[in-house]
């Protein structure tokens, strides 16, 4: 009985902490829904995609591939690259779990390791209780999926001029994601700048420009990521400072 009460309290605390994240997700995924509508997706399709995808960059990358009618393998690779950082977050989060925690609980917790949900999870005392993550997911994930569906519905109702204006909002979100770390770290700024320049050059160069947009993204991400790892490796002391 005591354990059940404790799990309920932890679950409710997770819901409380997940509520502001969910409200933010509702606004952001609305813009994602506009993008989904622009490639012909229905509100139900957008809802299902966001419910199981739970990743703005990954979903937008997948939508770009869908809109271009590219092969499925490109969709898988683009989504994997766009969401690669979640693998690192999952590794870090696994260190905060009880070693005796079942595989099922680990899989369920790993279902929605987003930047924000990861942030509140690692801030909890070790070991992380699954009920906390489930509580935050219960609020945040439905809002993310509902926001996408609402964006699709709004895109079908609103005038084209407003839909075009709202389509820009998603790019504004991506810019807001890269600007803060670029201002704090010169290496990040360098590679953000290089990525813009390389993307433009790839669309003009004779051989690579003939590839699909998603294939160019895959190549440039791997090349620039490898270059950053080789020439600017993260030192152990920098990693320790980031963790404190």
Residue 209: which residues within 8 A CB-CB, separation 6 or more? 202, 203, 216
Whole-number pLDDT of residue 244? 45
Whole-number pLDDT of residue 207? 77
Do 159 and 199 belong together in one domain?
no
Span 80-84, average pLDDT:
80
Do 10 and 127 belong together in one domain?
yes
Structure tokens at 188: 């990040």
Do 156 and 220 belong together in one domain?
no
Of 2-16, 142-156, 161-175, the one with minimum mean pLDDT is 161-175
Helices 72-82 and 56-67, interaxial angle, to 10°?
160
Whole-number pLDDT of residue 242? 46
Do 157 and 191 belong together in one domain?
no
Q: How many structural domains does the chain have?
A: 2
Helices 160-184 and 2-38, interaxial angle, to 10°?
120
Whole-number pLDDT of residue 243? 47
pLDDT band at 41; cut points 50, 70, 90: very high
Span 179-197, average pLDDT:
83
Whole-number pLDDT of residue 174? 62
Residue 228: which residues within 8 A CB-CB, separation 6 or more? 187, 191
pLDDT band at 46; cut points 50, 70, 90: very high
**Residue recorded with tokens 């079908």:** 156
- Answer whether residue 173 is part of any domain: no
pTM of structure: 0.72
Do 151 and 242 belong together in one domain?
no
Of 73-77, 85-89, 157-161, the one with minimum mean pLDDT is 157-161
Do 195 and 162 belong together in one domain?
no
Q: Where a domain ends, among 138, 166, 194?
A: 166
What region does 50 belong to: left with phi over 0, alpha with psi -120 to 50, or beta?
Answer: alpha
Span 164-186, average pLDDT:
69
Q: What percent of the chain has pLDDT over 90?
A: 23
Whole-number pLDDT of residue 14? 92
- Answer whether residue 44 is part of any domain: yes
- Answer whether residue 84 is part of any domain: yes
- Answer whether residue 179 is part of any domain: no
Q: Where a domain ends, among 139, 166, 193?
A: 166
Do 101 and 212 belong together in one domain?
no
Whole-number pLDDT of residue 11? 93
| Residue 35 belongs to domain spanning | 2-166
* Of 243 and 123, the one with more pLDDT: 123
Q: Where a domain ends, among 116, 133, 166?
A: 166
pLDDT band at 149; cut points 50, 70, 90: very high
Do 159 and 195 belong together in one domain?
no
Whole-number pLDDT of residue 132? 93
DSSP letters, 168-195, are HHHHHHHHHHHHHHHHH-HHHHHHHHHH
> What is d(CA 19, CA 118) in angstroms, rounded to the nearest whole number?
14
Instruction: Count other C-beta atoms under 10 Å from residue 58's C-beta.
Output: 18
C-beta separation of 44 from 145 below 8 A: no
Average pLDDT over all residues of the chain: 82
Do 159 and 192 belong together in one domain?
no
pLDDT reading at 138 higher than 90: yes
Indicate the SS3 state at residue 52: helix
Do 33 and 87 belong together in one domain?
yes
Do 56 and 153 belong together in one domain?
yes
């Amino acid at each position: 009985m005591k354990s059940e009460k404790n799990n309920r309290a932890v679950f409710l605390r997770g819901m409380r902490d997940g509520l502001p994240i969910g409200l933010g997700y509702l606004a952001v995924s609305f813009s994602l829904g506009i993008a989904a509508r622009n490639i012909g997706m229905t509100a139900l399709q957008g809802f299902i995609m966001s419910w199981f995808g739970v990743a703005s960059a990954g979903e937008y990358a997948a939508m770009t591939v869908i809109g271009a009618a590219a092969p499925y393998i490109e969709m898988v690779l683009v989504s994997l690259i766009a969401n690669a950082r979640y693998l690192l977050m999952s590794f870090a989060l696994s260190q905060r779990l009880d070693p005796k925690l079942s595989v099922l609980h680990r899989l369920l917790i790993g279902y929605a390791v987003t930047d924000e949900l990861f942030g509140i999870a690692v801030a909890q005392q070790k070991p992380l209780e699954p009920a906390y993550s489930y509580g935050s997911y219960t609020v945040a994930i439905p809002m993310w999926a509902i926001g996408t569906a609402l964006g699709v519905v709004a895109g079908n109702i609103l005038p084209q001029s407003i839909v075009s204006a709202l389509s820009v909002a998603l790019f504004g979100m991506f810019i807001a994601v890269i600007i803060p770390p670029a201002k704090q770290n010169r290496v990040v700024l360098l590679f953000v700048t290089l990525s813009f320049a390389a993307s433009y050059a790839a669309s003009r160069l004779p051989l690579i420009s003939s590839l699909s947009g998603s294939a160019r993204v895959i190549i440039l991400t791997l090349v620039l990521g490898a270059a950053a790892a080789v020439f600017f490796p993260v030192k152990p002391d920098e990693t320790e400072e980031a963790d404190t």
